């Protein structure tokens, strides 16, 4: 990265604004162009300063974070990274992502203490990634697609790996899949602890399929969507009756993310062999590349989201460049592409 990332900080706390400025200023690639006390001031400053990225709190006077994001995206989409406290604003975080925020960082505390410095590295990295992102405009859930039975049933499971931009993308994809889907779907979505259960519940309300956060030990059955809980890997085992069940574990401990797309994909290939359809969608980094290679080695198939529809074309790019993708599909066409194959 050679160009400076120009950042506007939005937070009603003077202390938090000061600390975020200090944290981001550690990077030679980031320039702080301003700091706003609430959403109204942020709208004015964004129009004047034209930042590359905005960091935004959610609970603020005058105009809160979600309201600001909605108005800013309607005026001029800018990548926004939410910086908030999970315990107090879980619902608000999901609303902010739905409104078009690119990503979020969880504050370790709501208090004005040096503990805020704990998020320094994560915040810097996410701001740098956000500068390369294409913000997704919020779209209303679409009705389920009418399912036509395929001539052949080539797969027994669909496994999906997704990260930055994932909450918005899955909200578009999963509600388009019909209740009579012939296979189960398992998803690794990179989110901090405390969000996946709420997100799964919200997605379930919008979907014909049954969406749940995996608890471990569930029978893996058609028409079910299992979302890996934040902090634990989702894999599969066969029980004594030969049925496939979900299995959760914090191990392996050395993965960049927990849950790991690689762990999910590797396990699916081991259990289902060639009858695995893997899908790698928007997100930074390369999680899923090794797992995709294992699926391919077992005879399975990999689809990747096309660059044009990704918020961040990182994970799919790693698959394509490794020669592992069997097809690139835009987000709008992804549900139809899955239905054609399963």
Q: Residues with catalytic annotation?
A: 163, 190, 287
CA distances from 119 to 9, 115, 129, 302, 337 (A): 15, 8, 15, 34, 39
Q: Which of 224, 245, 227, 249 is nearest to 236 (CA)?
A: 245
User: Number of H helices and number of E strands within the chain?
Assistant: 11, 14
- 3-class DSSP assignment, residue 337: helix
Question: How, if at all, do strands 244-249 and 233-238 pair?
Answer: antiparallel
Q: How far apart are CA 48 and CA 296, in angstroms?
A: 50
Burial 42-77 (b: 16+ CB within 10 A, else e): bbebbeeeebbbbbbbbbbeebbbbbbbbbbbeeeb
Residue 308 tokens read as 């044009």
Contact 247, 126 (CB under 8 A): no
Spatial distance between the Cα atoms of 89 and 316, rounded to a whole number of angstroms:
31
């Amino acid at each position: 990265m050679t160009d400076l990332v120009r950042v506007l900080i939005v937070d009603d706390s003077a202390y938090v604004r000061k600390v975020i400025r200090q944290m981001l200023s550690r990077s030679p690639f980031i320039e702080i162009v301003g700091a706003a006390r609430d959403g109204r001031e942020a709208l004015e400053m964004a129009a004047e300063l034209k930042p590359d990225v905005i960091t935004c709190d959610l609970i603020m006077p005058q105009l809160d974070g979600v309201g600001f994001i909605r108005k800013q995206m309607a005026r001029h989409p800018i990548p926004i990274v939410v910086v908030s406290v999970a315990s107090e604003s879980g619902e608000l975080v999901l609303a902010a992502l739905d409104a078009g925020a690119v990503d979020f960082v969880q504050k370790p505390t709501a208090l004005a203490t040096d503990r805020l410095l704990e998020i320094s590295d994560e915040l810097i990295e996410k701001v740098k990634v956000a500068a390369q992102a294409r913000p997704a405009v919020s779209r209303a859930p679409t009705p389920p697609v009418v399912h036509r039975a395929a001539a052949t049933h080539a797969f027994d499971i669909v496994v999906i790996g997704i990260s930055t931009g994932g909450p918005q993308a899955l909200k578009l994809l999963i509600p388009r899949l019909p209740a009579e889907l012939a296979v189960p779907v398992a998803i690794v979505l990179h989110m901090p602890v405390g969000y996946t259960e709420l997100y799964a519940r919200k997605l379930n309300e919008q979907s014909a399929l049954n969406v749940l956060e995996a608890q471990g030990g569930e029978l893996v059955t058609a028409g079910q969507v299992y979302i890996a809980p934040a902090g634990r890997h989702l894999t599969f085992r066969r029980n004594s009756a030969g049925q496939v069940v979900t299995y959760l574990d914090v191990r392996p401990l050395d993965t960049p993310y927990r849950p790991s797309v690689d762990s999910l994909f590797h396990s699916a290939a081991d259990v289902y062999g060639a009858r695995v359809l893997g899908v790698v969608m928007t997100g930074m980094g390369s999680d899923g590349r090794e797992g995709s290679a294992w699926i391919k080695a077992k005879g399975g198939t990999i689809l990747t989201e096309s660059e044009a529809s990704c918020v961040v074309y990182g994970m799919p790019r790693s698959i394509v460049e490794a020669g592992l993708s069997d097809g690139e599909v835009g987000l709008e066409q992804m549900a139809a592409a899955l239905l054609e194959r399963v």
